[in-house]
Every structure is written in structure tokens, then in C-alpha cells.
Amino acid sequence: MPDSRYDAVVVGSGPNGLAAAITLQQAGLSVLLIEGKDQLGGGLRTAELTLPGFRHDICSAIHPLAVGSPFFQTLPLAQYGLEYLTSPVAAAHPFDGGTAAAVYDSLDDTARSLGQDEQRYRQLLEPLIASWPAIANDVLAPLHLPKHPIQMAQFGAPAMLPASVLTSYFRQKEARGLFAGMAAHAIQPLSNLTTSAIGLVLLIAAHRGGWPLPQGGSQSIADALVAHFRALGGTVETGTFVRSLDQLPRARTVLLDVTPKQLLQIAGHSLSEVYQWQLRRYRYGMGVFKIDWALDAPIPFTASECRQAGTIHLGGTREEIIAGERATAQGHHVTRPFVLLAQQSLFDPTRAPAGKHTAWAYCHVPNGSRIDMTAAIEQQVERFAPGFRDRIIGRHTFDTAQMETYNPNYVGGDINGGVLDIGQLFTRPALRASPYRTSTKGLYLCSSATPPGGGVHGMCGYHAAKQALHDVFQLPAAPLYEELLS
């Protein structure tokens, strides 16, 4: 191909691809962003999946990591129409018998609601919440010497523990179940090391900024990021599915928002044999089975806390969640799966016609599963909200294969871009001096298959672009939010 006017090409417009493209464009480069679908956003998309007028988030839905992202906080996204909404209860966790544990924006309110575990909850979370501005960049980054080692050690000590161990720190079922539900976002057995980390990060986020949802749907985040990229002078090309590097215009650097499976397909011929061997050994984790519902009324949860929450964790006790996640990781389909549910329309009337509602939920399943989990998920909702099924007027489902067809990064339905366990936490996708560099000069990986992993925060893309700016252009990346404050 002839020489291009672009300094850099970014393939994939998920939150990490967008973050990478913006970071490069901010540095004064000319950047082309290529997306295979006609609509930008990757996992940040919203559509009428069930009935006309019912807007459903296709993948991600609730965004505590987006609103607290050190990179996104540096961007003027509100001027492009992005508005976050919060619910009175960030997350609720119901139990049989009609009770529920709840996480409020206020640490005090949450701790007081946990009865005998009030002081234990405070002792665990209070110092981490206070130190988060100093350590956020270190936590959401590749392995390196931290700038604040004492505060990082305070976080790292409990974060390294298996959630099955840290949950036993609490005395009562409410706090134990609540933390187990938070840790289950790790999508792996809770007996694994570091599974407490995601639970702690989500609780810290709740007490620093809530668990917000974007007005109009998750697509609003992508639309704001794209608008900012274009305002900086970036160029976007949609409808081009990249299967080979040969399809790309010449550029000094290329960043791919893909996971190892696609990287091998797109660039395998240019990668070293050792690097290809490492990529083939990369492990993908459990998949998800997802349902979106159109409802003629709100979900009738028995516990009042659940009727005020944007996010609900349906899993019962700590023991039930631990057993279910372990069995699923071993390849079984459980009758009472842990279900993550969001009810955005309670707080965002743009999601459904007047008087109607939407709901969004998924459970974990073995990677590549084709089993229909609709009945099991709906039974879990009905368990804590009798009469729920009577309110369903429309339904849309995704099994793991359909998830991967929709977004090839979700290999086998794995929405985290690969297992985020101790073996792949800092060395994803391969053990290298920089996880973002491939073995090919000028070619970088910027997806959730790099540190810090899954979630809508853009930090994988930011760090990959920062590495490319340093290696190829000898330029610095714009500082992150916490760096601006220091």
C-alpha cells in the first residue's frame, strides 16, 4: 500500500481502543481508528433488543470503573452529552426470607446497615478509600514499582487473599454474602488468590463515586469518547473487519484492541515463534449467558433495598456463591447460578416507554457453553422477587457463541478478555518487559488481555498508547488524573 498520512492506526473501538486512539491523538499524532461494525463502541453499545422503545445495554451496563477511571477523568466527556445517573442504593444483595444487604454511596450508611460487622467493614474499607487517589494509577497499571508503596501494601495485603478467605473476616451472613457477590465479578473460583481485589475495588468505587449508569445507555460513553477523538482531529473508519495487517494503511505504529486468539489470526505470520507459543498458552475463563427483558412494571423484589438499587447480586449466601462459581469453573451448569442484574430504567426513563421497564442480567457458565440458562436465571430472580415472570413482555438472550459472534474479543463468552487470576494478572498476555509490546516492532496490544484487565476504564488502551509513544515517537503521554493532582 502507498504511504499513509496516519502516524498510528488503532483497530477496535471498545473503551480500550478509544482510550488508545485519544491518547495518541492528544500527543499530536494523526490517528486512524478502525471498527469492524457500523456502530462504534465495542462492549459500549445500546440497542432495542426486545421491543420497540426498550433500550438495552448489549454488554456492559453499570460503570463504577468508568466514572472513576484515572484516564477518563482527564477528558471533557460531559460536554459531549455524557451524564451519569446514580441510584439510592449502589448495589443490593438479597437473601431468602426477604432481607438484603446493601452498599450505599456513604461508607457510614453501609457500615451501619451491617450490624455486628459495622466496625470490621469500616476497618477494612476506610483506609483503602482514603488512599485510593494515591494508588489508583498503581492498581490499574502493569507490574511496576509503586509510587506509594505503603498505601499499596495496605491494599495489596487483603487484595491478594482468596475471597473465600476474606469473606470469613465478617461474622454475619449479610456482610459475608455481600463481599462474596462483589468478588464474584472476578469470574473465577473464589478460592483463587487475588479474587478479593475486584471486590475491594468495586466497594471503594461505590464509596467514592457510586455505581453510576450513563443516561441513555452505555452507548453514551462510547459516543462521548468518539466525539472527543474526532474533536482532537482523529479519523474514524467503520465497517472494516480487519483479518490481516495487510489490510491496514501504512503507519509507524499499530495498536490492536483484540485478544490473543485474534492477534494470532491477524498478525501471526509477523510474530516470533516464542511469542506465538506464549499466546497459544493464554487461558480464557468462564463465559456468560445474558438476558435482557422488557417489563410491564418494575421487578417486584421483596427487599426494599433491591427496589432502590441499580445493581442486584442474586446468589444467596457466601457458601452458595463459592460453591456455584467453583462448579461452573469445573465445567458444570448450576441450578442456582450467581446472577448479576441491572435495572437501569428505574433511574433512567429514556430506557423504556412510559410506565414500562427494562432489566439486564447474566450468569457465569463454562467457556463455550451452548446451554440455555434462561429458566435458571429467571428462577433466581423469582426467588427474591415473586411475580417477576408475570411482568415479562419481551426477552432477548445471548449464549456464549452469540456473545463471541457479536464481539470476537469475548472468546467462548469470556467478557474479561482472559482469566484474570494470579497467573495472568500482570503477565497477560505473555511474560514480557512490557505486556503491551508484541514481538513485532511497532505493533502493540491494547485490549483487556493486557493489564489491568477487564472493565470499562480505558486503562489498558492508555498504557499501551503510552508505551507506543515512548518506543516509536519518543513522546510522553498526557498525565492521568491523579498525576495532575500531585
Q: Are residues 101 and 179 in the same domain?
A: yes
20 plus 133 within the same structural domain = no
Residues 207 and 218 in one domain: no
- Is residue 443 located within the same domain as residue 464? yes
Give yes or no for residue 142 having a pLDDT over 60.
Answer: yes
CATH number of the domain within which 378 lies: 3.90.660.50
Note whether 17 and 34 are same-domain residues: yes
> Of the residues 406, 427, 450, which one is the last residue of a structural domain?
406
Range with the lowest mean pLDDT among 213-222, 334-343, 475-484?
475-484
51, part of any domain:
no
Q: Quick one: pLDDT at residue 481?
A: 78
Give the pLDDT band (50/70/90) at residue 301.
very high
In a domain, 1, yes or no: no
Least confidently predicted of 130-144, 382-396, 448-462: 130-144
- The CATH number of the domain holding residue 468 is 3.50.50.60
Average pLDDT score over residue span 102-129: 97
Residues 196 and 245 in one domain: no
Contact status, residue 450 vs residue 429, Cβ threshold 8 Å: yes
Question: For cell 491518547, what's the residue?
Answer: 23
Same-domain check for residues 326 and 365: yes
Q: Verify that 135 and 279 share a domain, yes or no.
A: no
User: What per-residue string of b and e applies to 418-456 under the rule 16 or more CB within 10 Å gives b?
Assistant: bbbbbebbbbbbbeeebbbbbbeeebbbbbbbbbbbbbb
Could you give the C-alpha distances from 107 to 128, 159, 210, in angstroms and in order? 12, 19, 11
Domain contains 393: yes
- Residue 3 reports pLDDT greater than 90: no
Residues 218 and 143 in one domain: no
- The pLDDT tens digits of the residues spanning 5-61 come to 899 999 999 999 999 999 999 999 999 999 999 999 999 999 999 999 999 999 999
Last residue of a domain, one of 388, 406, 424: 406
**Domain assignment of residue 448, given as a range:** 8-46+61-81+214-283+414-485
pLDDT surpasses 90 at 482: no
**Residue 408 pLDDT > 80, yes or no?**
yes
Q: What is residue 4's predicted lDDT score, i.e. its pLDDT?
A: 63
Mean pLDDT for the chain overall: 96
The pLDDT tens digits of the residues spanning 263-289 come to 999 998 999 999 999 999 999 999 999
Confidence at 143, pLDDT banded by 50, 70, 90: confident
Instruction: Assess contact for 210 and 86: CB atoms under 8 A.
Output: yes
401 found inside a domain: yes
Q: What is the mean predicted confidence (pLDDT) over 146-156?
A: 92
Whether 52 is in a domain gets the answer: no
Region 245-250 average pLDDT? 95
Mean pLDDT of 330-335: 97
Query: Does any domain span residue 54?
Result: no
> Would residue 73 count as lying in a domain?
yes
Residues 95 and 196 both lie in one domain: yes
What value does the mean pLDDT take over residues 323-332? 98
Q: Which of 242, 269, 247 is nearest to 258 (CA)?
A: 242
Count of structural domains, the chain: 2
pLDDT at site 486: 61
Q: What is the pLDDT of residue 222?
A: 98
Q: 3-class SS at 238?
A: coil
| 186-210: average pLDDT | 96
- Binned at pLDDT 50, 70 and 90, residue 145 comes out as confident
Check whether 336 has a pLDDT greater than 60: yes
303 and 179, same structural domain?
A: yes
Q: Is residue 207 included in any domain, yes or no?
A: yes
The pLDDT assigned to 2 comes to: 40
Quick one: 207 and 334 in the same domain? yes
For a pLDDT cut of 90, what percent of the chain falls above it? Answer: 94
Choosing from 363, 388, 406, the residue where a domain stops is: 406
d(CA 453, CA 218): 19
